[in-house]
Structure 1
Amino acid sequence: MRSKPNRTKAQSEIALGTLRPKRSSLIWYVFLAPAFLGILCFMVYPILESLRLSLFNSSGTGGTWAGLANYKTVLSSSEFWHSVYNTFYIGFFQMIITIPLGFIFASMINSVAFAKNFFKVIFFLPNVTAIVAAAMIFTFVLHPDMGILNYFLDKVGLPTPLWLSNPGTAKWAIILLGVWHWIGFVIIICLANLQAISPELYEASTIDGASGLQQWLFITIPNMMGTFAFLLITGWIGALQRFNEVYVIGGPTGSPNRSIQTVVAYIYEHGFTGFQFGIASAATYVLFVIILIFTMFNLKLTKMKL
């Protein structure tokens, strides 16, 4: 019998080459497995379990079938809609102050010839501060008797309000805290886009006789619209999830008189204070729908595509 010819070196390399990608792909799956399991355990499972709980009357262990009754309870609750109002009120005024102010500061920093990095660090420092620590600091700053803000207001002859005891001023205390904490992020994002605008546009407009204000209005601002849209969307998502600072300052009920209770604080109150996990889970999914609708509205408003 004729013996089979030995496999050449080239054929062996080709055979090995077809096997190596399969082995390497298996190795990648092994490395991805812990992350994939983490996503399943800490993201997918809680989402599905929350959906299940929203259909049950549950105190955390067991429960009875409730169907859509929890959703009806949430949607007919005046406390829930008051928390929605507080959330939108605080978020709206925070962004209407922070985004224009951050853009102006970013334009000023971009126009200076030196010390840009110094100003970036100074303005960004509040953003890296833990929001819980910042909220605790603000409780001292806004203290009616020992607070530094009322001290200076008193020195210049202005009224010294009870910032955290009056429902109206308590909202603005949270807004001021949000502006102080978020403005550094807005400045950095705006500054990055400002530096990406082509200098040729400004050079051409200078040759045509455009002033600095005209360049800012007709070149800078139109080129910043994408950044403004990004800040609006991320700002609203963050505002609708606001919890830490209102919990530190006003507790789960948003004292005084639920004036600063947000939707997430409402969920926390019913879930971890009242042990009504079915109602809390239903409120969570209502919040999800609100965020989804509002995000789509913002995308439509800013004419962006997913």
Structure 2
Amino acid sequence: MANTQFPPNKQTITRLQGTLDSRKKLKKSQYIWYLFLAPTLIGILLFMAYPILESLRLSFFNSNGTIESFTGLNNFKRVLTSQNFWNAVWNTFYIGFFQILITVPLGFVFASLINNVSRGQNFLKVIFFLPNVTSIVAASMIFAFVLHPEMGIMNFALAKLGLPTSTWLSDPSTAKWAVILLSIWHWIGFVIIICLANLQSISSEMYEAAKIDGASGIQQWLFITIPNMSGTFAFLLITGWIGALQRFNEVYVLGGPNGSPARSIQTMGAFIYERGFTGFEFGIASAATYIMFMIILIFTFINLKVSGMKI
């Protein structure tokens, strides 16, 4: 049995008192950090948590902002039976699919080329990433001018080359591709930077061993680079789809809330805005918001399962 001195001597008491004092000081310092966090927490509660809960409440009411009446699940039924909503869903997936299908492989190819450049890498990174930090609203307005059927630079260039011109944003068959081109231009810099970060993290020893075994540059790219990029591709696919399913700014600038011409570029986000802030049907808009949230959640879950990524 351990020899314990009782009552404790002055040295032991002093040591214990010092430990208690240090713990009290630590607790007081923790309260100071909570004070620093308080503004952010209050902002989250006021501008994120409250709107989410209020939107959930409104989804069960017929509301124009002033007069409300309880309707239960009727708002969800009206949204799910609306042809305009499903047209918006189709447009959202169509634009998102081709944007990702083109941007991810193209961005990866550009990143591979930049990674092999010995000089000027930083300059190329800045040039390609510049569109990503440009305001999407400003970029959309510039694209609207570029694609103007009479004064636009695009038709002017096509005419000079002897190629057929197009009405672009006035034709439902080409309006979607105008949005896709804008999205590719705006997003490709992000894809390039992410791919470059992964490319530069791949061990050079793997390439050296492949060279010794006689592998060509293409074979190294196919059997070393691409397999090591699988996690990055999965990340880009998931983040790309989340952003694509929430698309609003560019289609609003180019086609308004109803996605003109003929609702050909109206997305789910634009449909929600149209019903809420043009038609003043806040209950319908709130119900559509939660349906869009469930679509994004389900689609993201499928992407995670397919890609094998773990949360």
Same fold (TM over 0.5): yes
Q: Which residue of 17, 39, 46 corresponds with 2:22?
A: 17
Q: Which residue of 28, 37, 41 corresponds with 1:32?
A: 37
State yes or no: 1:243 paired with 2:240: no
1:62-81 map, 5 Å: 62-81=67-86
Q: Note the C-alpha offset of 1:31.
A: 1.7
Partner of 1:196: 201
Partner of 2:184: 179
Q: Note the C-alpha offset of 1:215.
A: 0.3
Q: Which residue of 236, 257, 264 corresponds with 2:262?
A: 257
Residue 6 to residue 178, structure 1, CA distance change in 2 (3 Å): same
Q: Note the C-alpha offset of 1:9.
A: 4.1
- 1:76-100 CA distances to partner (integer Å, 9 max, x unpaired)? 0000000000000000000101000
Secondary structure at 1:112's aligned position in 2? coil
Matched to 2:306, the amino acid is L
Q: Which residue of 56, 62, 67 corresponds with 2:61?
A: 56
In the alignment of these two chains, the number of paired residues is 303
Q: Note the C-alpha offset of 1:198.
A: 0.4
Give me the whole-angstrom Cα distance separating, in 2, the residues matched to 1:158 and 1:145. 15
- 1:190-226 CA distances to partner (integer Å, 9 max, x unpaired)? 0000000000000011111101000000000000010
State yes or no: 1:110 paired with 2:120: no
Give me the whole-angstrom Cα distance separating, in 1, the residues matched to 2:121 and 2:27. 50
1:125-136 map, 5 Å: 125-136=130-141
Structure 2: gaps spanning 5 or more residues: 1-7
Partner of 2:3: none
- 1:101-152 CA distances to partner (integer Å, 9 max, x unpaired)? 0000000000111110011011011111100000000011001111111111
State yes or no: 1:147 paired with 2:152: yes
Secondary structure at 1:205's aligned position in 2? helix
Partner of 1:293: 298
**Paired-residue identity, %:** 69
Q: Which residue of 153, 160, 163 corresponds with 1:158?
A: 163
Secondary structure at 2:184's aligned position in 1? helix
Q: Note the C-alpha offset of 1:5.
A: 8.2
Q: Note the C-alpha offset of 1:62.
A: 3.9
Partner of 1:138: 143
Matched to 2:62, the amino acid is N
Secondary structure at 1:170's aligned position in 2? helix
Matched to 1:36, the amino acid is L
Secondary structure at 1:164's aligned position in 2? helix
State yes or no: 1:123 paired with 2:121: no
Give me the whole-angstrom Cα distance separating, in 2, the residues matched to 1:13 and 1:266. 64
Q: Note the C-alpha offset of 1:34.
A: 1.5
Structure 1: gaps spanning 5 or more residues: none
- 1:245-267 CA distances to partner (integer Å, 9 max, x unpaired)? 10011000000000000000000
Q: Note the C-alpha offset of 1:36.
A: 1.2
TM-score (norm 1): 0.97
Please report the RMSD computed on the Cα atoms of aligned residues, expressed in angstroms.
1.3
TM-score (norm 2): 0.95
Q: Note the C-alpha offset of 1:170.
A: 0.4
Give me the whole-angstrom Cα distance separating, in 2, the residues matched to 1:157 and 1:5. 100
Q: Note the C-alpha offset of 1:45.
A: 0.7
Matched to 1:180, the amino acid is W
